Amino acid sequence: MANDISKRLNKWLNSEKVESKDKELLKSMTKEQLDDAFYKDVEFGTAGMRGVLGPGDNRLNDFTITKANYGFGLYLLKKYPNVKKQGVVISSDNRHQSRHFVLLCANILNDLGINAYIFDSLRPTPELSFAVRYLKACGGIMITASHNPKQYNGYKVYDEQGCQLVPEKIKDLVDIVNSLGDALDLKIDVSDKKGETITLNDDIDKAYLENVKSIQINPLLPKKGFKIVYSPQHGAASMLALRLFKELGYDFYPYLPQCSDDPDFSNTLSPNPEDPKAYTYLIKYAKEINADLILCNDPDGDRVGVGVKNKDGEYVLINGNQGACLLMEYIFSNYIQKNIMPKDPIMYTTVVSSSLGLKIAENYHVKVEQFLTGFKFIGEQIHHYEVLDNGPTFVFGYEESYGCLIKPFVRDKDGLQAILMYSEMALYYHQKGQDLLDIYDNLQRKYGYHIDVTLSKEFVGSKGNEEMLNLMKELHDNPIKSLNNVNVFKVEDYLKKISICHNEIKPINLPSSDLVKLYFEDGSIISTRPSGTEPKCKFYISTVKKTYDEAVEANKRLQENFFNYLKI
C-alpha cells in the first residue's frame, strides 16, 4: 500500500497538468494526509461522488470531476438519442469551487455536443430536480456536499425524471467512469458540433415556487404574530425561501449573518441541521425576538432542521424522525378531515427510520413501503407507479436524516416544501393553543415512547477503512445473538439479502447493501451501515417503552452494551 501511494503521489508531482500550487500543497502534507489523499480513487458510487477538495486521487478536483462528468456525458449519449438537444441541467450550492465545477461540467458536455442549462447563481437541489422535469432534459448534475463540513464538495447525477440514479441505472455509468483510467491521463473526444450553455431565467424559479405553494392544506390561516426564525446555513435555499415566505405573508425572520453565500460557513458552528451546534446562533436570535419556530435548511436546501419554543420559553430541537411523524399526523388527519385523502394512499420511508412512522401511517390506512437509505429509491418508486398508471397514490416520503417530500413534482428531498409545511403545521396547532411538542407527546402516549438515536464513528484513511470493513464483516458473519440478556429474534442482512427470524430464512427484495439490522425481543432495533458519502459508520439505535424515561434509559443502556460488544 505504501509503495502504491508513493507511486500515485509521484505521478501527480511529475505531471505537467498539475499546477505548481497543488504540487507545493502535496509536498507540505503529512504522511497521514497523503495516505488519505492517495490510498484509493475517490469513489463514484450509488450516491454520486463526494470528498475533500484538493489534489490527489481520493480528492475532489478538476481531474476527478472531469473524469466523472465525461463518463456521465458518454453514458447519456449512449442512453438518450436526443440528449444533445434536450440537454442537461446543472446547479450548485455555495461551496468552494462549486461555480467553477458547474462551468467545467458545462464545457465538457458542450465538447460532447450536449447542451447545458445552468442557473445564474446557486440553486437548491430540489429545484435542480424540478428543472430537469420542467425542461424535459435528459439528466441533471448537482455540485454539492450537502451538509458535510466546508472542506468537502460533491457531484451528484440525476436521470430524466429528476431522480438520482438507482443502482441498476448507475451501474452502467460507474462502468464507463471506471473504464476511463487514470484521471490525469484522460483525453476528451470533442464533437464536430459543440453544444451550447444556456443560462436559465426566472421562469424556473417562478414555476418551482408555484408548485411549492400548491402543497398548502390550510393556506388561509392568519399568519401575523407567529414568528419564524430561518437560516439557509449560508446555502442555496436562501433566495427562494425568503421570496416564498414573503409572497405568502408569513412573519418570517431570516438570520441574516447566515444568509450570505459563504463557502467557509463563517457565521455558523455547523452547516448540518442534524448537529445541535447549527442552532446556537439561531436560538439566541429567536430568544431576542421571542420567535415561535426555528427552521434551517442545509447548504443544498434538501434537508430541514426544526426548533420549537416550549412552555418555558426554551427551544427544543426536533430530529428527522420526530419531524416526519408530526408531518404525517398533520397531513393525513387534515386530508381525511377535508375529504381529500386519495384512494389507495402510500407513504415511502427507509429501513432505518423510526417504527413510529409506520404506526401513524397504519392508523390512517396509508400503505407503507420501505427502502434502503437514499431518496433515489423513493423517487424511482413514485415513477414506477406513475408508469403503471394504476398503483397507489404517493402522499408522503421521508428519511430519518431530516429529508422529506410532500408532493412529487420533485423527485428528491425538498427542503422548501418542508419548511413551508412545518410552518403551516406549527401555525395550525398554535392557533389551537398547542405547540408541536404537545402534538408529539400525544403521539407518544398513543403509540408508545420511541427514542431513535443516530450515532456515527469516523474511519479515516486506509487503516480506518480497513477497520470499518472488518467491523461490518464481523456483523455479517457473526450476528449478535443477545445483549444484556435480551435476545435478538430477527436479523436482516441486506448485503446477503436475507432475513433470519427464529431460524426461518426469507429473501429481502431490495438491492444489496452493506447494512445489518438487529431486532430484539423487547422491541429495540439496531441498524449498522457505512456512510455512502463520508468515511464513517452509522449506527441507528431505537427503543420503545411505555414511558419516556424508560425509553431513554433503555436506549442509553443499549448503546453502551452494543459499543462495548464492538469494542469501539
The pLDDT value recorded for residue 44 is: 81
The pLDDT value recorded for residue 211 is: 98
Backbone angles phi, psi at 517, to 5 degrees: -125, 125
pLDDT tens-place string over residues 468-527: 999 999 999 999 999 988 999 999 999 999 999 998 999 999 999 999 999 999 999 999
pLDDT tens-place string over residues 6-52: 999 999 999 999 999 999 999 999 999 999 999 999 988 767 899 99
Hey, what amino acid is at 535? P
Backbone angles phi, psi at 43, to 5 degrees: -80, 130
Q: Which residue has the cell 438507482?
A: 166
Considering the candidates 91, 146, 353, 524, report the single residue annotated as catalytic.
146
State how far the Cα of 138 lies from the Cα of 130, in Å rounded to an integer: 13
Backbone angles phi, psi at 358, to 5 degrees: -65, -40
State how far the Cα of 483 lies from the Cα of 561, in Å rounded to an integer: 6
C-alpha to C-alpha distances, 95 to 80, 234, 261, nearest whole angstrom: 31, 9, 8
C-alpha to C-alpha distances, 299 to 92, 261, 283, 415, nearest whole angstrom: 10, 9, 19, 10
DSSP 482: E
Write the secondary structure of 4-65 as one string of H (helix), E (strand) and C (coil): HHHHHHHHHHHCCCCCHHHHHHHHHCCHHHHHHHHCCCCCCECCEEEEEECCCCCCECHHHH
3-state secondary structure of 230: strand
Q: Which residue has the cell 395550525?
A: 428
pTM attached to this predicted model: 0.95
State how far the Cα of 523 lies from the Cα of 487, in Å rounded to an integer: 10
Give the H/E segment covering residue 127: helix 125-135
Task: Report residues of the chain scoring pLDDT below 50.
Answer: none
Question: Pairing state of beta strands 504-507 and 536-545?
Answer: unpaired
pLDDT tens-place string over residues 251-303: 999 999 999 999 999 999 999 999 999 999 999 999 999 999 999 999 999 99
Q: Catalytic site residue 542?
A: no
Hey, what amino acid is at 495? L
State how far the Cα of 230 lies from the Cα of 273, in Å rounded to an integer: 12
The pLDDT value recorded for residue 531 is: 85
Domains of the chain (ranges; CATH) run 1-39 (no CATH), 40-204 (3.40.120.10), 226-316 (3.40.120.10), 319-413 (3.40.120.10), 450-566 (3.30.310.50)
Backbone angles phi, psi at 359, to 5 degrees: -70, -40
The pLDDT value recorded for residue 535 is: 82
